Amino acid sequence: MSFFEELKRRNVFRVAVAYLITAWVVLQVADIVLENIAAPAWVIQAAMLFLALGLPIALIVAWAYELTPEGLKKEKDVDRTQSITHKTGRKLDLTIIGILAVAVVVLLLDRFTGADAVPQPGPASEPVSQVEVATDSEAVEEEPDPHKFSDRSVAVLPFVNMSSDPEQEFFSDGISEEILNALARVKELKVAGRTSSFAFKGQNQDLREIGNALGVEHILEGSVRKAGDTVRITAQLIKVDDGYHLWSDTYDRKLDDVFAIQDEIATAILEQMKRALIGFEPETTVATSARTDSEVYDLYLLARQRIYERKRLSIESAVELLDKALAIDPEYAPAYAQRGIAALLLSDRNYGDKTVAEAGVEGRLYLDKALQLDPELAEGWAGIGLQHANIPGQHQQGIEPLKKALEINPNMIDASNWLQVIYSESGESRQALAILEDMVERDPLYPPGFGNAVNIYNFLGMQEKSWELLDRIRPFLPGDPQLLQAEAGTWLSLGQPSKAQPLLERALESQPSDAVMKNLLSFCLLQTAQYEKLIELDVDWARSVALSLLGRKEEAMIIASDLASEGQVDRLVGEYATNGQYRELIAFIESRWPDLAAIEAEYPDGGDGFGLMLDIANAYSAVGNEAKFNDAMARIRVAHDRDNEHGVKSEWLALSEARYYVLAGDRDTAMEMLAEASENGLILGEKLERIWPEFAVFSGNPEYEVIQAEVFERVNTERAELGLEPVSA
């Protein structure tokens, strides 16, 4: 008997067919089940591997063993005259027919419950993210959360990447974000921001916890499976409080139709929100996505993800990807917009090394092209606003483009942040705060949002609001460096650098090059007279101050001059003023600006008065130029009045007011303002007149010496907390 005939006699072929059909059915069922429970992609991959390894084992068993009336025996031990392999073969034939019938049923189910069928909303036994939904008997009465928007609120969680390639995750994230942006354009909906929604990526948290954190009543989640030139997207809209599925659907499309899928899903969700909410009739429909080639879209999505990382290398990588995309499709407006934003972010004011002017020229070319192709492109207008926000003296020109971007896409959180930066740096603290509070409600885990909100709360003397916000987000960002930074800033505003310093040192362990954190730590070290450590930290402006206070004036001046050549003039002006070099100070500013209005345009009040303008006023007073002195003082008064009107409560504003009134000749009011600065927690390890010579008029004044003693006592209390020796006046 030939080997082939022996394989047939032992039913090896029948076992192979039965095994393969059974494995296919198992994988199809597993695919459906695992997709509905949002299982990670490796689970289905592991099942495929397990079944593949099982095939040779099954074939070896079929060859080596035979089923007999007495049970399974080795084939060599069975008498050929007693073999029943022919009967076993018939049973296997029937088994194969049965499995084929099951396979047909599975195919039909997939057909009629997939893209061509729209299931009616109904309760599900298990929400997709594997959350535990309490039964009525388990439900716990919860007090209404003041952060909840309304019944018209939704969060779009990042869709799960079910593709075999983990690197395709940027594609599923991009799909989620496009749907989020489409819904955000509907003014009647409240849509949670991207950063906060994406913070729950890969987590199986209770939907109620997610809804409470994001302030929403509904959650959209789903999955994306990309294979070759096809994509399957599932989506389901879930009511947060009970896990009830309001709507779900599955879409199987060619990749060149992915934009239509995004629009279909967003439109379906909007329709379901209308049905769920009595009387909800939106004024606008979902905007359609810009179309392009599937390869271009892939490059664009990956580039956008890298820009979100806000790291130089990531942004430079994004530039390369966007250049490739535009080479393929030179008419794709969103790619031009992101290319322009990337160019601006690579300025030395942000994450790169190009001058602001160079980055501005390059970025504007791409942004203008984007808006030429699509005048209603939110990211294009936002980029124009960022360009103006980057340039001193042009801040006000950035307001209208940023407002337009937010009219088109209210959820464009970067545009909101850039707008509040303009208001904040212009001294419009209340306007900045209003934007920040809206940002925090929409996207509470967005670091610039909660970080800047905490900063302004602290500046306005509203530290209780800072702690409330920090307590709200802390459970979702344990150990996050941006959270540590915000908490440190609050302790600093309360005059407790000893509590701020260890938080900032922890934050810098994970982000050692973060300029904002290094600046805050520099401030802690300066307040507690840790000058040698301040020099080691290597923050240029702080190193210059420390060297000056240590008596190393020449070194301090070299650093200050270098900073001035790079456009940062306040340290050089301050060093001239501290040293009493008033004529040199005046010569420098008059060589750089035609008048004080030009200085004010480039260095607007940042919320604590005009430190730079006070030094200039003092210099003009010292040389007897009354006209320029009065001009500077008038500008300072306007800035201080605006800060007071906005409710700023800061020891540094009080100190600026004291300087103003000393220069104005009103020593009584100046002393009152110094006392207020001390009451507000002023802490500085040097005598005040050593840094601001105008206070020398109070030397020997008993009230002034009491205030100075209070400041030093506070310094030494903080130094003791840090295990440092006390300093003396």
Tell me the domains of the chain and their CATH numbers. Answer: 3-112 (no CATH), 153-276 (3.40.50.10070), 290-426 (1.25.40.10), 657-729 (no CATH)
Please give the pLDDT value at position 285: 54
**3-class DSSP string for 597-626:** HHHHHHCCCCCCCCHHHHHHHHHHHHHCCH
Please give the pLDDT value at position 534: 94
88 compared with 657, residue with greater pLDDT: 657
Do the Cβ atoms of 215 and 148 come closer than 8 Å? yes
Please give the pLDDT value at position 283: 54
Please give the pLDDT value at position 524: 95
**pLDDT per residue over 331-345, tens digit each?**
999 999 999 999 999
Please give the pLDDT value at position 321: 95
pTM of the model: 0.68
pLDDT(526) > 90: yes
Please give the pLDDT value at position 126: 32
For residue 142, the one-letter residue type is E
Strands (DSSP E) found in 406-495: none
Please give the pLDDT value at position 634: 95
**pLDDT per residue over 238-256, tens digit each?**
888 888 888 888 888 777 6
**pLDDT per residue over 89-144, tens digit each?**
666 666 767 767 676 666 555 544 443 333 333 333 233 333 333 333 333 334 44
Please give the pLDDT value at position 381: 96
Residue 625, token pair as written in the block: 């130029």
User: Taking Cα atoms as reference points, which of 523, 520, 491, 446 lies closest to residue 684?
Assistant: 523
Compute the C-alpha angle 150/155/157, nearest 5°: 165
Assign 489 a pLDDT band (cuts: 50, 70, 90).
Answer: very high
pLDDT(442) > 60: yes
Q: Point out the least confidently predicted range of 59-63, 216-220, 276-280, 570-574.
A: 276-280
Residue 366, token pair as written in the block: 């791409």
Q: Point out the least confidently predicted range of 30-44, 159-173, 328-342, 428-442.
A: 30-44
The mean pLDDT of 442-454, rounded to a whole number, is: 88
Q: Point out the least confidently predicted range of 211-220, 242-251, 595-604.
A: 242-251
CA 143, 147, 153, 155 dihedral sign is negative
Q: What percent of the chain has pLDDT over 70?
A: 79
Please give the pLDDT value at position 127: 33
**pLDDT per residue over 603-644, tens digit each?**
776 555 678 999 999 999 999 999 999 999 999 999 999 888
The mean pLDDT of 521-537, rounded to a whole number, is: 94
Please give the pLDDT value at position 67: 62
Q: Which residues pair with 66 in a beta bridge?
A: 73
For residue 657, the one-letter residue type is E
Residue 129, token pair as written in the block: 């993210």
Measured distance CA(17)–CA(82) in Å, rounded: 26
The SS3 assignment for 66 reads strand
Do the Cβ atoms of 149 and 190 come closer than 8 Å? yes
Q: What are phi and psi of 282, to 5 degrees?
A: -65, 145
